[in-house]
Amino acid sequence: MSSYRKPHPDNWTGRKSGNALYLHEKVECTAIEDTGSHPSQKTIAILGYACDEGVRRNQGRIGAAEGPDAIRKQLGKMPNHLSPEVRLIDVGSVECPDGDMEAAQNSLSEKIVDLLSARTIPIVLGGGHDIAYGHYNGIKKHLGSPASIGIINFDAHFDLRDDENGNNSGTPFYQIAQNNASEGHPLNYLCLGIRRDANDSQLFQTAEKFGVDYVESEGFNTSSWASIEKILRQFIDEMDHLYVTIDMDGFSSAYVPGVSAPSPMGFSPDIVLKCLKTFIESGKLISLDIAEMNPTYDIDSHTAKLAASLTHYALHSMTGK
């Protein structure tokens, strides 16, 4: 069983200007069924995936179900540089009250279809990385099977664990690969920030089996930008559309103490921003999510603020501001 919670205006507070200088003054709280289509306006929709059942099943630290609202609260305080013609809407959250992660993923998929059909650009805030399975399936259903969808995952982990013992936050891309293979389609998957100390040899073998492209953590930094950019552009050129997912536990815990699987050995925000800029400027980015933000273990909201800053950058860049 899953449920849908309408947006809470109380998540959007901050300094008051009376002139929409801050995002909490810009955002509209709108139930997803009331979103409608506004062809003359660019619309960004913030959707939450308040589920950490997949993290629990994967033996991680639970708490990411509270991530969407924690990110919203930090995002609302940030400056608004959006054009008056751009709509920013909060459409609420998919929840997982009874541990039925599969139902929550299906619900997320349906809501992604609704948002894309209404010509909005979804930014989904999680929640465990099982968010990726529901999100991808929604994009796929909206586009139809002939379209090639390139998945870009900023992460320390491949999340390619097999699902013989059930689905969890570590299996989404394996599930996608299996589904695509059954339909005669490849897994178009680029993973940025992979760590050898976070993936066993079997996971590297699975990545090779499915033809996964990846950049390892020690080479994922701005000093290596020339080689990284070449990989990104080659991947982009081969795809019709791009779906970006950012797992916050890929960052060093110096930046993100509040995640489900922290490590000091991760990447830094500057390289992620450079990559995001490249994906957005390609014109192929159709949807984006942020996963594994866990307020239970956050310190001074550092992780929520970084997730909000990434969201702030994305929503302004995707709308030309």
Q: 75-85 pLDDT, tens per residue?
A: 999 999 999 99
Average pLDDT over residues 161-184: 96
pLDDT in tens, 225-278: 999 999 999 999 999 999 999 999 999 999 999 999 999 999 999 999 999 999
Q: What is the pLDDT of residue 1?
A: 60
Output the known binding site.
129, 155, 157, 159, 247, 249
**Cα gap 166→174, rounded to integer Å:** 12
Name the token pair of 45.
């929709």
3-state secondary structure of 301: coil
Q: Give me the pLDDT at residue 146, please.
A: 78
Q: Which domains does the chain have, with CATH numbers?
A: 3-318 (3.40.800.10)
Average pLDDT, the chain: 96
CB 293 within 8 A of CB 303: yes
| Feature table: binding site for Mn(2+) | 129, 155, 157, 159, 247, 249
High-pLDDT (> 90) share of the chain, %: 94
pTM recorded for the entire structure: 0.97
Instruction: For residue 291, give the H/E element and its range.
Output: strand 285-291
Model pLDDT for residues 191-209, shown as the tens digit of each residue: 999 999 999 999 999 999 9
Token pair listed for 47:
């959707």
Query: Which residues, in sequence order, are bridge partners of residue 43?
Result: 87, 120
Summarize pLDDT for 2-57 with one digit per residue, the tens: 699 999 999 999 999 999 999 999 999 999 988 876 666 899 999 999 999 999 99
Closest to 159 (Cα-Cα) out of 136, 125, 182, 183: 136
Q: Is the peptide bond before 127 cis (omega within 30 degrees of 0)?
A: yes
312 close to 23: Cβ distance less than 8 angstroms: yes
Q: What is the mean pLDDT of residues 111-118?
A: 96
Residues 6 or more apart in contact with residue 121 via CB below 8 angstroms? 42, 43, 44, 45, 286, 287, 315, 318, 319
